[in-house]
Amino acid sequence: MTAVRTVAAVDLGAESGRVAAVGFDGEQLELDIVHRFEHGPRVSDGVLRWDLDTLWGGVRAGLTALDGGRVPVASVGVDTWGVDYALRRPDGELVDEPTCYRDPRQLSGMSAAVARVGEAELYRAAGVQLIPINTIFGLVSDVRDHPDRITAASGLLMMPDLFHYLMSGAVTSEYTIASTTGALDTRTGEWAWGLLDQLGIPRRLLPEVVPPGTELGALRGGYGGALRNCRVIVPAAHDTASAVVAAPLHSAGSIFISSGTWSLVGMETDRAWVTEDARRANLTNEGGYGATIRLLCNVMGLWLLQECRRQWAREGHRLGYPEIAELAGAQPGLASLVNPDATVFLAPGDMPRRIQDYCARTHQRVPDSIGAIARCVIDSLALSYRRVIEAVGAVTGIAPPAVHIVGGGSGHTLLSQLTADASGLPVYCGPVEATALGNAAVQLAALGELAGLPDIRAVVAASTAAVEYLPRDGQDWVAASALLATLVSADSSSADSSSADSSSADSSSADSSSADSSSADTDPYQLQPCATEESQCGD
């Protein structure tokens, strides 16, 4: 029997984190979660920020648990959600805690960037969909509204890069996480310097970009047990990139859905698609492992259900997700729909009321129970997936043969079945822990244990079981898809109007608070920060 090689995968979502030991015996991967912890952003000084002490404390607790074990750990790597960053001072300390992508500054930053260079130039430079959460809009906000932060900073660290820095002392930016910024040209793998110059973002902030699988050095921290000889190896550091590494795709052209708080829906390709058709479809090009590109779209995902569940708990209805899914399954399908990506749903808060208000405002049946609201969300997500699948197929000219759902949402039976129904394609679900497995697999490949993507996916398929869902007849998904398209178009027009109002305010030398106020008057739910620590965003 081949000796087992063990690596550590640190997987940080925007709601919880886990540290896993992943062993490979030459044929299969075995994953053992040694530590789990919860976390979330909270308001500090009026800004929605990540609690770095909790995050780093959770990571260190997991590393300590690993160090106390008897199995030597060869390497460790970290993946996280995309877009968020920290600013580092010359002395190595942080300027302040990282700001969460759900903070209101993102909208004003996006409006300012669009006003400065235009939507087409933003897309041409980076090939990334126009969405408020993009890193570059936070940087624009910093440059415009908080220049002291920029002046104090010597460099930027994306979230996984921050933890790799704390572990090794190396200052780099891993390629897949850098590709979520809207500031990297995915065609070249280099920073989009021309765009950064146009937006006034100092070049000194952007570190060297390194590929997944790069070794950064020895793990620091004085570990003397199983981690004594541990190296720091960057995985595909964007959690979606790691999840897709471990997606056992049946054939080329298959659709992947990395399902969690956000659903990343797309196709793995061998080149970037920075075209006008891709821009109009609002598709993003993100870097993948093994010189691949993930042509995808961000869909708001299970965030809507997570926030509904939190609100129902505040009202005394403490329900698990299986109970919510059962209530939803008892409701008639396609009775009402929402556009999950409408800005109104981006911030924490009373999500059930927002969904009801949205349905009333769009002259649909208003869901009046927990089950009806949940069914509205699940139907809307399945239709949103269909919409992206059609867009990706149209842009690439490839007819997808199947859909593969990985991540936490792959265990949602109703959503998986409705995705098959809506898309008309077979759906294969699993593994749930795809992100941690993909993280570990890239480390193992860097150590010479695996031989690239085909080998990784064969090993993952041998290590996990997939659940199949076949499409059923019975509902008019075509008409429902047309309704969703109408809702998306109306929301887009409303957002454009709000952006124009904000840009006019900027050009009239109005201050940023005036622009934010204008936006809030248009939609009172736009990106309002959490009122208390109970209202937490998350994956």
The Cβ of residue 416 has, within 10 Å, a number of other Cβ atoms equal to 24
| Neighbour tally for 504: CB within 10 Å | 14
Per-residue tokens: 142: 């910093």
Look-up: residue for tokens 């937006």? 199
Task: Note whether 326 and 411 are within 8 A (CB).
Answer: no
Q: Beta 16-24 vs 5-12: how paired, if at all?
A: antiparallel
CA-CA-CA-CA dihedral for 519, 117, 48, 527, to nearest 10: 30
CA distances from 507 to 107, 116, 482, 503, 510 (A): 16, 10, 37, 6, 7
End-to-end CA distance of the chain: 38
Assess contact for 121 and 192: CB atoms under 8 A: no
- Which residues, in sequence order, are bridge partners of residue 49? 42, 99
Count of alpha carbons within 13 Å of 221, Cβ hemisphere only? 28
Distance of CA 40 to the CA centre of its chain: 15
- 239, 341, 379, 506: the active-site residue: 239
* Cα dihedral value 375, 267, 401, 235, nearest 10: -90
Q: Which residues pair with 372 in a beta bridge?
A: none
Burial 229-248 (b: 16+ CB within 10 A, else e): ebbbbbbbbbbbbbbbbbbb
From residue 256, give the alpha-carbon distance in Å to each of 6, 131, 252, 394, 495: 27, 20, 11, 16, 28
DSSP letters spanning 325-347: HHHHHTSPTTS----TTSGGGSS
For residues 356 and 376, give the distance between their C-alpha atoms in angstroms, rounded to a whole number: 10
d(CA 139, CA 79): 22
Nearest in space to 387 (alpha carbons), one of 252, 493, 270, 255: 255
Measured CA to CA, the distance from residue 158 to residue 84 in angstroms comes to 6
Q: Please give the distance of CA 177 from its chain centroid, rounded to a whole number.
A: 10
Query: Which residues neighbour 515 within 8 Å (Cβ) at sequence distance 6 or greater?
Result: 108, 111, 502, 505, 506
Q: How far apart are CA 35 and CA 230, in angstroms?
A: 18
Q: Are strands 293-299 and 263-269 parallel, antiparallel or unpaired?
A: antiparallel
User: Does residue 67 have an active-site annotation?
Assistant: no
Contact 122, 114 (CB under 8 A): yes
Is residue 475 within a helix (H) or strand (E), and if so which, with residue range?
Answer: none
> Which residues are catalytic, by number?
239
